[in-house]
Structures are given as C-alpha cells and as structure tokens.
Amino acid sequence: MLKVAILGGSGYTGAELFRLLQQHREVEVTVITSERFSGQRVSDVFLNIRDKTLRFEPLRLEALIHRAELFFLCLPHKTSQEIVAGLNKAGKRVIDLSADYRLKSAGVYRRWYNTGHRFPDLLKKAVYGLPEVNRERIRNASIVANPGCYPTGAILGLAPIIDRDIIDTDSIIIDSKSGVSGAGRSPALPFMFSEVNESVRAYAITTHRHIPEIEQELSLISGKKIKVIFTPHLIPMDRGILTTIYVRLRRKITYSEIRKLFMKHYHDEPFVRILEDGQYPSTKGVRDSNYCDISVFIDKRGDHHTLIIVNAIDNLMKGASGQAVQNMNIMYSFDETEGLMDNPPFP
C-alpha cells in the first residue's frame, strides 16, 4: 500500500481528497493535518467520513516526513513554497493543489500573487498536472502542480485546436461560472448565504490569478504566445464550473469536422466525454465525478464564423482533488481510473 499524507486536510479540497483516498484500493492515508482541528477525529469534523481512527495533527514537517511516501498539499497559496522545497530535499514526491508551483516564471508569480517565489529552480522542475496534456511527464515527476479549477476547463476546451491553423488565437474569450466552494472554506463576507443566494455576479475581471496559468499552458501547447479574455462568475450553488469559450474560425469548417477533431484528440481519455450532437454539458451531469463533458457549436452568421465550446467539470473533483488522485494514479502506475469511477448522482 502506498502511504500518503494530506497536509491541510480541513478545507474543501482536503476533505474531498480524503474521501476519495478512503475508497482507493492501493492507498493508505497515514497523516492528515489541520491546525484548527488538531487532535480531533476527522469523522467528527466531517460527518460524511466513516474512518473513526484518524485524527488531525498539526503540520510539523520534521515529525511527519517519514510517515508517508507521497504528500498532497491542500494549503493556501504562498504557504506551500517552503514545504514543497523541504519535501523535495527529503526525496518525497509531492502533489501540490495550491498555485505555488503552477507558473514557470518567478516574475509572473510575483506579479499575480504579490509575493516573491523563493525556489525558482523548483518552478522549472515542477510538472503541470493536467493528465490530458502532460501524462508522460507526470509519470516520473517528483513535484506535480495540480491545475486550478478554471484553467482545467479552459485548457481542456481549447487543447484540441489551439495548435491548429483553424482559429484566430487573438480572439479567445472564456466565460466561466463557478459554485461557491471554489472560494474555499474560510468564512468571508462575499460568500455568505445572503450575499450569494439568488444572485449571479462577475468578479476579478482582467485580474483573476488563473489568467496567467491559462495563457502559459495554451502557449506551451500552441508554440506561440497566447492571450485570453477571461471572465469568472460566482453562481449560487455548492460546486461545479460551466465554461463557455468563444473563438473566431480562420476558415470555413463544418461542425462535423470540428467534432471529429475533438473526438480524435480525446479518444483514449477516460475522463473527457465529447457529448452527442445537440447535448449540452451541465454541472449536474458531472457533479461528484472526475469527468469533463464537452460540446462544440458553430455560429455561421456574419463574415466571421465563431466556434463555441462549452464544458462542465466539478471544481472539487476534476478541478482539484479528483485530478490530484488521477495524477497520483499515473505517478505510481495504478489504473488511472482507480478510486474515481463512481457515476455522478442524479438528480
């Protein structure tokens, strides 16, 4: 059994990760940390957890480092930098769910996160953990930077066509709508029930920290510098992200041809589903699952035809903890779908 630790286990991603690892046949969770709930049983903090033995511990790396082979970090941005470096020095493998190792440039990180990065060499060493793009690099990685939730939907929507001479890459508009759990579990006024309920609002227009992550990965796939217009929205539900992408076509191409490109690109991917003609992705259709559902449409009105790509993910699953488990499965040559194949509930 692979011994794993969850550092920062009392937030939404940590709790979801622990739930998934409980049903994984190849894994034993030996450590889970929380400063706030230190000493309490995990099952007393999260009533959906059946394990009655494991207790939250304080994060004291020197005391924990020998008790696991793989460390999942579900810590706040800026907090993971030093811990990842310490684990890497000790020869431990890491899957970091924060943003601290996603960006390759320390300068870009400073600009968007308003703090310096103390380990720029490790930024280059870290592998961006989107399996559909970097599967072979993930296999041997010592540091995997688990993608952000919004970038997962955006990149999966554009990856099949971004490196083809089909679209005007200067015209990419991404509109995403996320459930409230994407903001984390710490209490904050904008995310209180009375503030969120019966309301939809945009936020962080032109300033959202996932913008450089989206642009970095699309640029690496396409081989040229990509800029996007990205607008996130908060919607009054617990979980899920619906992303709609608009991009101009450079030449006339049929719906059937576009759909075949997406089908071929994701043919062997266990967690990407290209929906049938006329079907629309929905957050309920992927809730509690690691799936990304995608549909494509073409608006042929006007002088320029527009490709419209719609996809849905669960922000806590394919957008965070489910993807982290998928990355672990790849790193340790487990069945990639192990622990992740439960069908989404309905309704």
Token pair recorded at residue 313: 């993910």
The confidence band for 1, taking pLDDT boundaries of 50, 70 and 90, is very high
Residues 6+ apart with CB under 8 A from 176: 150, 153, 154, 230, 231, 232, 233, 241, 242, 243, 244
In percent, the amount of the chain with pLDDT more than 70 equals 99
**Quick one: CATH architecture of 2-147+318-331?**
3-Layer(aba) Sandwich (3.40)
Which sign does the torsion angle of CA 143, 146, 148, 154 carry? Answer: positive
In angstroms, the CA 86 to CA 123 distance is: 14
Q: Which fold has domain 150-315?
A: Dihydrodipicolinate Reductase; domain 2 (3.30.360)
Given a cut of 90, whether residue 18 has pLDDT beyond it is: yes
Given a cut of 80, whether residue 345 has pLDDT beyond it is: no
In angstroms, the CA 296 to CA 173 distance is: 15
Active-site hit among 84, 122, 149, 234: 149
Residue 74 annotated to the active site: no
Given a cut of 80, whether residue 60 has pLDDT beyond it is: yes
**pLDDT tens string 236-267:** 999 999 999 999 999 989 999 999 999 999 99
CA distances from 274 to 106, 138, 270, 318 (A): 36, 24, 11, 16
Q: Do 68 and 92 touch, CB atoms closer than 8 A? A: yes
pTM above 0.75, yes or no: yes
Q: What is the chain's mean pLDDT, rounded?
A: 95
The confidence band for 347, taking pLDDT boundaries of 50, 70 and 90, is low
* Closest of 262, 258, 343, 246 to residue 302, by C-alpha: 246
In angstroms, the CA 156 to CA 153 distance is: 5
Token pair recorded at residue 39: 């000493």
Given a cut of 90, whether residue 26 has pLDDT beyond it is: yes
What is the mean predicted confidence (pLDDT) over 157-161? 98
What is the mean predicted confidence (pLDDT) over 165-186? 91
What are the residue ranges spanned by the domains of the chain? 2-147+318-331, 150-315
* Closest of 317, 346, 131 to residue 241, by C-alpha: 317
Where residue 198 falls (left for φ over 0; alpha for ψ -120 to 50; beta otherwise) is left
In angstroms, the CA 16 to CA 14 distance is: 5
Alpha helices by DSSP H, listed for the chain, are: 12-22, 42-45, 61-64, 80-89, 106-113, 120-125, 131-139, 149-158, 193-196, 211-222, 255-265, 283-286, 322-331
What is the mean predicted confidence (pLDDT) over 212-221? 98
Q: Do 33 and 56 touch, CB atoms closer than 8 A? A: yes
* Closest of 338, 299, 291 to residue 319, by C-alpha: 291
pLDDT at residue 181 in the model: 87
DSSP structural state of residue 183: G
Given a cut of 70, whether residue 14 has pLDDT beyond it is: yes
Cα–Cα–Cα angle for 53, 54, 56, rounded to 5 degrees: 140
In percent, the amount of the chain with pLDDT more than 90 equals 86
**What is the per-residue DSSP string for 184-207?**
-SS--GGGSHHHHTT--EE-STTT
pLDDT at residue 342 in the model: 76
Q: Do 151 and 157 touch, CB atoms closer than 8 A? A: no
In angstroms, the CA 279 to CA 69 distance is: 43
What is the mean predicted confidence (pLDDT) over 168-174? 97
Given a cut of 90, whether residue 188 has pLDDT beyond it is: no
Identity of the residue numbered 67: R
More confident residue, 204 or 345: 204
What is the mean predicted confidence (pLDDT) over 16-43? 94
Give the chain's radius of gyration (CA, Å). Answer: 20
Q: At what angle do helices 322-331 and 12-22 cross, to 10 degrees?
A: 50
Residue located via tokens 């217009």: 229
**pLDDT tens string 283-342:** 999 999 999 999 999 999 878 899 999 999 999 999 999 999 999 999 999 999 999 987
